[in-house]
Structure 1
Amino acid sequence: MAKVPAAYRATQGSILDVDRDFYGRLTTPGARERVDRRVVPIRQGLAWEVPAGHVLRLSTLEGPQVGDLNLWHRHNPRERFWASRTRQLQRAHVSTFDRLWSTLPFLRPLATIIDDTLARYGTDADGGRVHDLLGTRCDPYVNKLLTGQDFDHHCHSNLVRAVAPFGLTEFDVHDVLNVFQCTGLNDDDQYFMKACPARQGDYLELFAEVDLLCALSCCPGGDLSVDLWGPEARDPLETCHPIGVEVFRLEPSLLAGWEPPAYAPYQGGHGMRGPAIDWTAQKQRRLKP
């Protein structure tokens, strides 16, 4: 079968043309200091801040476990992670040197993946790959439709509770990066999930391009080795494990020449006539939560 080229392709020097030498250096052993360490308990959510220029590590502390990640600009939550555009600009399953993009009208990298121990998994015989942007978070609304039962610890609900102390609400929770989750599309073009291939100590590292507010749900489905819906469904509690969160400050020399990415340069008014509008100033307004 002929390989069809991607619709969105980098040109040399564009923001899609990642400086791999720079990001590769950010994983240098001994050139970082841990400044924050947390644990997301099973079937719970947690929110925390990561300053620009720092590294975030998410790890499987005790065994396989999937997590649902949301990102916002810390000082302007209207700028948040855009899963579908990231899927177009990068790929449906992300790994090292892929970037996580923000929503319009901002459209810039919020974070860049710099290390991924699960890159070894590749693509399995069913077409499954890890760190998924195809699906989204489990939620109590779909669960009620499928089972008729209420359950308050789906990833959506976990994220809602996690961000409430930061002044955000259910309306701010958005489509996720499914960290450590193995998924794909079957022969009927339907979304499938497989057991998480992570082992104890596996991790994903992201470099914060801007000041971030992050939230992670430790999925109630655990490692997804147990059916959550359908005739074989049962409670997967025994497959649940906590997820570790670490934030590292880098040696300043590693960041020489780096600065947070600028907003998308489009300056038009979408074809609307009227008084001139400074769109850059509009985007730079800080809407503190």
Structure 2
Amino acid sequence: MLYDLHTHTKASDGKLSPKDLIDEAVKLKLPGIAITDHDTVSGLHEAMDYQIHVKNQIEVIPGIEMNTEMDGSEVHILGYYIDHFNSHLCERLQELKESRLKRAKMMVKKLKAMGYRITFEQVQQLAENDLIARPHIAQVLVHNNSIFSVKEAFEKLIGRGRPAYVPRYKFFPQEAVDLIKSAKGIPVLAHPGLINKQEIIEEIVAMGIEGIEVYYPEHSSKQIEKYKNLAVNNNLLITGGSDYHGPGMKVITCNLGSVGITPDLMKEIKIFYNKNR
């Protein structure tokens, strides 16, 4: 069985609570998962408290996925084994949360002006917390029968360059790497195959990245080989995960535990962490 090191909960744009996500992973007999919500650690409190009750069945790794931008390309940085009580990290995340709220309001306003049935109150109610992401907006559009699917919402309306898209607050990979390290975590470049400008990957690696998400649902076998070689040549950890958002979520059509890393690769991550943190 694989360690799934890329999952999301209701704390960001997933469907399940941290407890329910862990329970699902236990049912699948996964040896471990990392909870990596977008720009928040709010779900980690529940997750790590609950892990005490299931520690003999599964390992839960506290993580995060930070959304950054570089040269017009989205760059996501994963962090593993972070101290989710770190004050510097929490303060910066609060600022990012507030910027997400403003961005969501602007996107809803654009959609309404285009004639789509949607209110910000609906988006807030669906999100169930104050961290709002684009998938929440997409789900409301689907619920209101304004669009067929979450994927279609991104492709036609709220994806980069689409009519209702609003650029995110400028947050750069280097700051994400530094924040994760300040919280004693391991910074990892997420799904490099999704980065538009592949030439910037070498520059991101030079920022102090300590791992690469080689195994990812949308990576082809050729890309997996490419990023595996990049990791080996730069002495970087190899990670992987499903990017699971919960049942019925079509942002990434992949089941929990279907993509990840072997126990041997997980052992290398633990050795690195214990040695360097």
Q: Give the TM-score normalised by structure 2.
A: 0.24
Q: Bigger radius of gyration, 1 or 2?
A: 1
Q: Give the TM-score normalised by structure 1.
A: 0.23
Instruction: Flag the structure with higher strand content.
Output: 1
Higher relative contact order (CA 8 A, sep 6+): 1
Instruction: Flag the structure with higher helix content.
Output: 2
